[in-house]
Chain A
Amino acid sequence: MSIDANTVKKIAFLSHLKIEDDKVAATQEEFNKILQWVDQLKEVDTDNVEPLVSVNNEHLRLRQDEVTEGNQAEAVLANAPVKEYGYFVVPKVVE
């Protein structure tokens, strides 16, 4: 499997990444190298094998329902480029 330049641009758009036009070809080549490697993995017979969801061979541990965090609005907002009245402020986004 390999992908074309348009797919590279589409994935960049979906990921909110800016890829300059002169970098598209190089990025496409990197993508295709990864895909070739995945194609190689596909040679392994995985019929009747359930997909592996996690490499940790461990079940999920659960947390008790207790409030242990919060009341730290200042710390949460510390790195926000713009904040007002305790809110994060961003350029207007309306659907």
Chain B
Amino acid sequence: MSGMIIQGKTGDWEVICGLEIHCQILSKSKIFSGASTHYGSEVNENVSFIDAGMPGMLPTLNEECVSQAVKTGLGLNAKINNYSAFARKNYFYADLPQGYQITQFQYPIVGEGFVKIELENGETKDIGIERLHIEQDAGKSIHDISPTKSFIDLNRAGVGLMEIVTKPDFRSPEEAGAFLRKLRSIVRYLGTCDGNMDEGSMRCDVNVSVRKVGEDGFRTRNEMKNVNSVKFVMQAIEFEARRHVEVYESGGQIEQETRQFNPTTCTTKAMRKKEYAHDYRYFPEPDLPPLVLSDEYINNIKNDMVELPDAKKERFVKELGLTPYDASVICENKEVAEFFEKAASGHDAKKVANWLMGDFFAMLNEKKITLAESPISAENLGALVELVSKNVINGKTAKDVFAIMAATGEAPEKIVEEKGLKQVTDVGAIEKVVDEILANNQANVEAYKAGKTNLIGWFVGQVMKASQGKANPEVVNKLLKQKLG
């Protein structure tokens, strides 16, 4: 049971939450025009007359946006609709030059699906997807240049969006956070959205209500728009749920309204209520006939799908023997998973995972670099693990070799060869060192024989030091125990 329970004065309350996520579709051109989607261009440079809402211009649908939406729908285990249609959502705002947004209403391109999330206690839960539809983004308004004027850049106007609506299945902030991370992982694996919440290419609206434990049905919800990080979404849910409980317990009622989350104070406040704000007067888009997709089209995309995080995780557990936890950490990020698979190829996968999640990630953090910038290649990380597995070097030497690899980017075999770090497994050679140590430390030998057996660690240390760390520790231990009797 991962649900969050709020203990109120009148009893226990549970949290109900649903999310709506806008994902910018990765495509070269906009959804209904041939203007570029490039981010960071000069103001109003990527604007066609369609995007600017000029009279007489007709939209034409970008095939890439359609296939990206279908791909994402399949990634959400959802039903792809053979028939979908576009509608106009009417509202006036300065960065929406047409006076309406072309979207899908009654007939979305993707229907119901689900996403499996993993929770901290190891449990999993399926979160229902209500629908996914495609639509155009609005332009960008800048309000802080002048106290009396707003400045409008239409470069973003007309960029393709996928709006993903979940069922009200979340019962805690943690579940919502896990879902967002999973969704981001899925769209990044698929290459359908870059998933950057801080840059606004993935934006989240949060719907929250509460009800008494055991109560049926839902109470009135409030919506918080454009919450732009996983952490803020979790904080917004927690604050809003507690506020609802307080209102109900002090005898008040919750009114359906749009609220704004303030990340600095972690509180929400009502946005100015716009009269008739939700009356969008949708009607069928007359400029675009219905979108009909054949089963063959959908199946072609299905057959072309990349392996998704859940499937990869399962394979890593089953075939490579990773623990479910390690596998899910490695699979959250596609690039990490690919790096791991390359490194583990032909070597001990569990040991490679340990190195990757331990020393390797620590090294990236310390150097403040990304995986792509790593001086240590996947092949070289695998080779290092192999050297340990084959007893060419011991674990302690491996750490030293790793540090040199991180500094120079050289292959571990080369480092071991050049620095003469090969482990000594020749029993005769090690015995010679052991005998020397014992002969030079008679006092400790007597002490050991008199019962101070924990001196064994000290002897091992001395032998390792004398052999410059190259002696095989197991052989050293065995010999010492034999000789000290």
Q: Which residues of A contact B (CB under 8 A)?
A: 10, 13-14, 16, 53-54, 56, 58-73, 76-77, 82, 84-95
Contact = CB atoms under 8 A, between A and B. Distances in A.
Interface of B: 27-29, 33-36, 42-49, 52, 60-66, 85, 90, 92-94, 107, 141-143, 146-154, 271-272, 275-276, 279, 281, 284, 286, 288-292
B275 to A, nearest CB: 8
A62 B271 CA distance: 40
B290 A60 contact: yes
Given A59-B289, A60-B288, A68-B29, A90 B48 contact: no
A69 B152 contact: no
A73 B45 contact: yes
Given A54-B289, A73-B42, A76-B154, A62 B66 contact: yes
A41 to B, nearest CB: 16
Contacts of B36: 67, 70
Contact of B290 (A54, A62, A65, A92): A54
Secondary structure of the A side of the interface? loop
18 contacts: A10-B276, A54-B284, A58-B289, A59-B291, A59-B292, A60-B61, A61-B60, A63-B61, A66-B28, A66-B34, A69-B33, A69-B48, A70-B48, A76-B44, A87-B151, A89-B149, A91-B150, A92-B146
Contacts, number: 134
Looking at A58, A72, A76, the one whose CB has the most chain B CB atoms below 10 A away is A76
B325 to A, nearest CB: 39
Given A53-B107, A65-B65, A89-B152, 6 more contacts: A14-B279, A54-B288, A70-B48, A85-B151, A88-B94, A91-B149
A60 B153 contact: no
B151 to A, nearest CB: 4
Contacts of A88: 44, 94, 151-152, 154
Contact of A60 (B45, B142, B289): B289
A25 B142 CA distance: 41
Contacts of B153: 86-87
A60 B286 CA distance: 12
A63 B46 CA distance: 18
B35 A65 contact: no
Contacts of A69: 33-35, 48-49
A66 B29 contact: yes
A67 B34 contact: yes
B142 A62 contact: no
A70 B319 CA distance: 50
Sorted nearest first, the 9 A-B pairs with minimum C-beta distance are A68-B34, A65-B64, A62-B63, A86-B43, A87-B151, A69-B48, A88-B152, A73-B44, A69-B34
A19 to B, nearest CB: 16
Contacts of A66: 28-29, 34
B34 A92 contact: no
Contacts of A70: 34-36, 45-48
B121 to A, nearest CB: 39
Contacts of A95: 271-272
Contacts of A59: 289-292
A30 B44 CA distance: 41
B85 A53 contact: yes
A25 to B, nearest CB: 22
A62 B69 CA distance: 14
Given A73-B45, A86-B44, A65 B63 contact: yes
A16 B85 CA distance: 27
B290 A72 contact: no
Nearest to B279: A14
A84 B145 CA distance: 11
A53 B94 contact: no
A14 B35 CA distance: 30
A13 B27 CA distance: 37
B224 to A, nearest CB: 13
A92 B29 contact: no
A86 B148 CA distance: 18
B62 A65 contact: yes
A11 to B, nearest CB: 8
Given A73-B47, A76-B44, A77-B44, A93 B141 contact: yes
Looking at B148, B149, B292, the one whose CB has the most chain A CB atoms below 10 A away is B149
Contact of A92 (B35, B150, B276): B150
Contacts of B291: 59-60
Contacts of A72: 47
A14 B276 contact: yes
A13 B276 contact: yes
A70 to B, nearest CB: 5
A72 B45 CA distance: 6
A60 B62 CA distance: 11
A59 to B, nearest CB: 5
Contacts of B49: 69, 76
A71 to B, nearest CB: 6
A87 B43 contact: yes
Contacts of B85: 53-54
